[in-house]
Structure 1
Amino acid sequence: MNEPEEGGEDRELETRAGSDRRTFLKGSAVALGAGALSVSAGRASAWDDERERIDRVDTATSSDGMVAASDPRAVTAGTDVLDAGGNAVDAAVAVQFALNAVQPHTSGLGGGGFMVVYDAEEDELYAIDNRERAPFGATPDMFLDDGEPIPFETRITLGQAVGVPGTFKACDVALKRFGTHEVEELIQPAIDLANGARVDDYLARTIEEEHGKFNDAARAVFAPGGEPLGVGDELVQPDLASTFETVAEEGVGAVYKGEVGEALAETVQENGGSMTPADLGAYNVTIDIPEYVEYGDVTVRTQPLPSSGGLTIAGILALLEPLDLGQYDRQSIEVYQRLAEVFKLAYADRGEYMGDKQFVDAPWQGLLDPDYLDERRGMISYERATTGTQEPGDPWSYQPGSPYAIDPLTPDDVGAIQDAPRPSIANPLGSTTHFTTADAEGNLVSWTSTIEQLFGSGLMVPDYGFMLNNELTDFDAQPGGPNEVQPLKRPLSSTSPTIVFRDGEPFLTVGSPGGTTIITTVAEVILNLVEFDMDLAEAVAEPRFYGNSGPTVYPEASVPEGIQSGLRERGYDVSPFTTLGNVMAIQIDQQTGEYTGAADFRNGGVAYGP
């Protein structure tokens, strides 16, 4: 399985004391960054720590709509659209374009993602897949050198790592299917921001960390004269503004059949990739039916394959439900130990069976079969850690039929894939962003957008001003498994934009950046709300915990030391992180229709309703 995305360092919380929220949003060029909250011996009590975490979650309420995103300038773009009569999809597209201008290190025209849309009038949920695809010229061994995987830190900067981007096609398709405004209106705030915007702490730190991998075009924008831009500097991106203007005038064709796409393909080829304008012209998004799982009195709907988020979250929740976590205190060793063991089981199956559903027949029925879940649950020890790496189960024994889209792996294949070098797990704040919108009519959008690593491949398209993803590194470098590279294939993702229903009505939107930790982050927020009866701010603030099929677990530093030592005593290798994820969420009061938005403090964000 792929390791979590790399993320930036902790962010400092910038004060906005004395500012009216609307005035702040309209006029501020300061992005709210939030530092990670770590445990310190000088705190008066654990309750003080918890209260501080909850208070640092930015929340807002409104009956007329809601936007939650990682930068206040993008939130302003979205709420202005709602004020002007636009719907949730219109607002989400405006947020996406604005984020490209103020957070070019996390998403943009050169990337892709996954988007879940609830259409209130139709009472239907749609998943819009805009994941990047491998070009026609991609080969299963393109990340090998003399039979060995190219080191991860090298391959993320190669032209071969760049997937055919899908973000703008998603904007175009979503607007045509669900929107009410035109692209030229929604992109205007991004044009203004590209012509000049203040560099915040998050962007400044990321430029400092990542500018060594930039090509000349990116270096000229973010580190002119070799000096990285710092906090308070003005970021001026005239090429990006010009590209946005071209998009406003010409629409989607400029990127996928016109001059922008030609320049994009040329940049990829100059850096060793095979992408051509024909690859761009052939790209399209898919509109799918989201995965679902019932947990307690809610139904969780999220992204299907090639995102592993839907099936893996479903597996986690289905394994946990009979364990009745609610009988324990949320911050108890019993809860954390059960989470650790269930995560190991779910991630073992994720890595073995999941890939692009257009190429791989995943045993989705078997994975969620009650008898299979009982079998897997029976492997859990409730007192000690499962040592070593958890092995996958055999869901095909519980699935009608047999796999048809891939050949079964041989033992040698499995060994080679498991032994292939993996990148070390990095701080999973993520080079991805999640945002969510709602409107007065009840329409909802939950959208996770990415260019993979921070600043993606480090390659900017010269004269056009946007960064290119390195999303194809989410494929396994070693051929032979369900997630091997193939032409036109989408790499496996953990992205999990989610909408939760209660009694058939929307109850919650939620999502996060963070690579493979996205799955556990989203699952834990849902558990906090449904199983532990927290309010939204409490659910977002609660310390997080990550584990995969391996022997190590990763608590946030704010997980009580007694829990961390208890996990060690039970046999776990415990490796704390400062923070995990950056959740943006909207909860719907099903009696009044009022929205409560919440933006995480961990990497900064704002929630606001018009």
Structure 2
Amino acid sequence: MENIDEKTKQENYKRETAIGKAGMVVTAHPVATQIGEQVLREGGNAVDAAVAIQFALNIVEPMMTGIGGSGFLMVYDAKSKKTEIFDGHVRAPKAAYPELFQDENGEVIPFKERSIKGTAVGIPGILKAMDEALDAHGSKPLADLIEPSIEFAENGVPVNWVLCDALKNFEYRLGEEARNFFMPEGKAYQVGDILVKEKLANTYRILQREGVSAFYEGEIAEGIISCIKEQGGFMEMSDLKDYKATVDEPMVGTYKDYKVVSSMAPSAGGFTVIQILKILESFHLEQYDVHSWEKYYLIAEAMRLAFTDKKAFLADPEFAELPLKGLMHDDYIAERRKFINFKTRNNAIDFGNPWKYDSVKQRAVIPQPNDEERSETTHFTVRDRWGNIAACTSTVEHPFGSGIMVSDYGFMLNNELTDFDSVPGGMNEVQPNKRPVSCKSPTIIFKDDQPILTLGSPGGPTIISSVVQTIINVLDFNMDLKAAIEEPRIFTPMGPHIEWEAGIDMNSKGHLEGMGFVFNEVPHSIGNVQAIQINPLDGSNYGAADSSREGCAMGLDETDYQMKS
């Protein structure tokens, strides 16, 4: 989407931003936003809309998300002022084992090979999480929330440039069934082509009639297991039947005068977002220019510190005691800050020792190869007229997931087990029924116990950098929400390389290169933030979508709601 003209920019901006006094929906695709807005308009609440959006995104963003994947749905209930995480993350099948991603010689199987096999597929959880949230907070039947997506699946939706780019760049990930669907007669769909999904519509009809149990125990489940086994996997019907979503307390921290509420383990996203912010807090970023080398430098070093800890200490809390208390201890954060010297990229940065500030048992840290590709995901968020918020990051992991499309049912299966360590022995090694570490970071910022901002992003580990930098741009630099999202971002997990977006200050880039940082030769988009800013004085909403996809924000006022007879 480079080099677009001014008129197109203005049209995109109009689609990507909205103001609403009594409701807001922001997603990465206009069809999904339209469906969510329709649910609100017809009296549904934020959770109702989120469930409907998830079904819609399986149609329009099949390379990013779908019912064959997972997600973390954050729900803020305005009446009780309670925030919960409905955790629909994948779990490993009972037959999974620590050496899953090693060959007979004990060597790690190359990522491109291990990520498109049946053994990479985790037990999908997004439907169970959505069902749990609907049961706890929803007001509409599941069948009604699926219906709008069926119409789009049967009538077809125009293919956009995002899907075309994914097909162009990740064609190699497609299995035979998916290849035949997305590239009929060997030719990929082009922008504007109408994509009809009859098989997926039929699958949705089954879910309407039988509920999500059809996915975990019925005929859809049988189709899933058959496809996985054909591709060398070992998931069984009992794995699907026994899957349970969890309802978790969120990760909570503070940044200056704000409360930051985000995802809890097995997602490392919430911890890492909050730790980066805590490291940066005393440096007072607001004293620097938004394009200054000091800002980029501080963010880069804080990111490296937090990511080394994330890699070493985060895992499924059902299988390991995590030193979260130690990692967030003020003295530990102060220790980490000392690595930031303003003189050079500090080559001594590595994971710390949070165990001395914690009571949990110390565990081994096993080095891992850094051969994974950048994953893709989607994020969407809704606020309803009563002030409830639903923010969800959902995924099939890497583009098109495992590449396995379930025959006769029309959806892709994830490859999320590749988020486990490929070298066993650490806290994140593969084990039966275990959830791999994720980076999903649906986040709500509170001021004086009132929500003022909710946001999230796709992008694997870059999720964390996108969320952090958007928060900083809003809270520290007082930027307009849309400008905060569009401000060029950087990302550096641990090594010397910095990924960057076009538009960062070239003088600042040169300064950082002189400090020992190595920038990727070519800039590229990092993340895809969707956000809602809330005015605490009148409760109105400002929604903004990232221009790196076909994002869309739609707001509602009280006059938009249908009259009840």
In 2, Cα distance between equivalents of 1:280 and 1:314: 34
Q: CA deviation at 1:604?
A: 2.6
Superposed CA RMSD in Å reads 1.9
1:489 paired with 2:434, answer yes
In 2, Cα distance between equivalents of 1:232 and 1:555: 30
1:171 paired with 2:130, answer yes
In 1, Cα distance between equivalents of 2:244 and 2:4: 40
Aligned to 1:325, which of 270, 285, 303? 285
Q: What's the TM-score once normalised by structure 2's chain length?
A: 0.95
Aligned to 1:594, which of 521, 540, 551? 540
Code of the aligned partner of 1:135: P
Between the two proteins, the alignment pairs up a number of residues equal to: 553
Instruction: Please name the residue that 2:467 is paired with.
Output: 522
**Alignment of structure 1 residues 567-586 onto 2, 5 Å:** 567-575=512-520, 577-586=523-532
Q: CA deviation at 1:272?
A: 0.9
1:451 paired with 2:396, answer yes
Q: Kindly provide the CA deviation profile for residues 252-275 of structure 1, in whole angstroms up to 9, marking residues without a partner as x.
A: 110011110111011111111110
User: Against the structure 1 CA distance between its residues 210 and 251, is the aligned structure 2 distance closer, same or farther, given a 3 Å change threshold?
Assistant: same
In 1, Cα distance between equivalents of 2:382 and 2:64: 19
**Alignment of structure 1 residues 85-484 onto 2, 5 Å:** 85-145=43-103, 146-195=105-154, 196-387=156-347, 390-403=349-362, 408-409=363-364, 414=366, 417-418=367-368, 420=369, 422-423=371-372, 426=374, 430-484=375-429
Aligned-pair identity (%): 42
In 2, Cα distance between equivalents of 1:73 and 1:596: 19
Q: Is the 8 A contact 1:333 1:567 kept in 2?
A: yes
Q: Is the partner of 2:444 in helix, strand or coil?
A: strand
Code of the aligned partner of 2:530: M
Q: CA deviation at 1:13?
A: 6.1
Q: Is the 8 A contact 2:86 2:130 kept in 1?
A: no
Q: CA deviation at 1:557?
A: 2.1
Code of the aligned partner of 2:526: L
Q: CA deviation at 1:380?
A: 1.6
Code of the aligned partner of 2:371: R
In 1, Cα distance between equivalents of 2:342 and 2:9: 50
Q: CA deviation at 1:17?
A: 7.0
Q: CA deviation at 1:226?
A: 1.7
In 2, Cα distance between equivalents of 1:211 and 1:539: 33
User: Against the structure 1 CA distance between its residues 517 and 56, is the aligned structure 2 distance closer, same or farther, given a 3 Å change threshold?
Assistant: farther
Q: CA deviation at 1:361?
A: 1.1
1:71 paired with 2:23, answer no
Q: Is the partner of 1:157 in helix, strand or coil?
A: coil
Q: Is the 8 A contact 2:173 2:400 kept in 1?
A: no
Q: Is the 8 A contact 1:309 1:495 kept in 2?
A: yes
Code of the aligned partner of 2:392: W
Q: Is the 8 A contact 1:221 1:236 kept in 2?
A: no
In 2, Cα distance between equivalents of 1:556 and 1:324: 24
Q: Is the partner of 2:455 in helix, strand or coil?
A: strand
In 1, Cα distance between equivalents of 2:460 and 2:330: 28
Code of the aligned partner of 2:477: F
In 2, Cα distance between equivalents of 1:57 and 1:371: 46
Segments of 4+ in structure 1 off by > 3 A? Answer: 10-19
Q: Is the partner of 2:321 in helix, strand or coil?
A: coil
User: Against the structure 1 CA distance between its residues 57 and 340, is the aligned structure 2 distance closer, same or farther, given a 3 Å change threshold?
Assistant: farther
Q: Kindly provide the CA deviation profile for residues 420-454 of structure 1, in whole angstroms up to 9, marking residues without a partner as x.
A: 3523x65xxx5210000010000001100100111
Q: Kindly provide the CA deviation profile for residues 505-532 of structure 1, in whole angstroms up to 9, marking residues without a partner as x.
A: 1111100001101111101111111111
Q: Is the partner of 1:456 in helix, strand or coil?
A: coil
User: Against the structure 1 CA distance between its residues 13 and 387, is the aligned structure 2 distance closer, same or farther, given a 3 Å change threshold?
Assistant: same
User: Against the structure 1 CA distance between its residues 18 and 549, is the aligned structure 2 distance closer, same or farther, given a 3 Å change threshold?
Assistant: closer
In 2, Cα distance between equivalents of 1:608 and 1:219: 34
Q: What's the TM-score once normalised by structure 1's chain length?
A: 0.88
Structure 1 portions without partners, runs of 5+? 1-9, 22-31, 33-54
Code of the aligned partner of 1:601: S
- Segment of structure 1 superposing worse, 189-198 or 444-453: 189-198
Q: Is the 8 A contact 1:546 1:555 kept in 2?
A: yes
In 2, Cα distance between equivalents of 1:12 and 1:436: 29
In 2, Cα distance between equivalents of 1:336 and 1:14: 29
Q: Kindly provide the CA deviation profile for residues 182-234 of structure 1, in whole angstroms up to 9, marking residues without a partner as x.
A: 11111111111111121111112222333333233222321112221111111
Q: Is the 8 A contact 1:266 1:276 kept in 2?
A: no
Q: Is the partner of 1:272 in helix, strand or coil?
A: coil
Q: Kindly provide the CA deviation profile for residues 554-584 of structure 1, in whole angstroms up to 9, marking residues without a partner as x.
A: 2222111111101001111122532211100
Q: Is the 8 A contact 2:15 2:553 kept in 1?
A: no
Q: Kindly provide the CA deviation profile for residues 373-411 of structure 1, in whole angstroms up to 9, marking residues without a partner as x.
A: 1111112211211127x31110001112434xxxx32xx
Structure 2 portions without partners, runs of 5+? 557-565
Code of the aligned partner of 1:62: G
In 1, Cα distance between equivalents of 2:8 and 2:500: 32
Q: CA deviation at 1:16?
A: 8.5
Q: Is the partner of 1:449 in helix, strand or coil?
A: strand
Q: Is the 8 A contact 1:149 1:421 kept in 2?
A: no
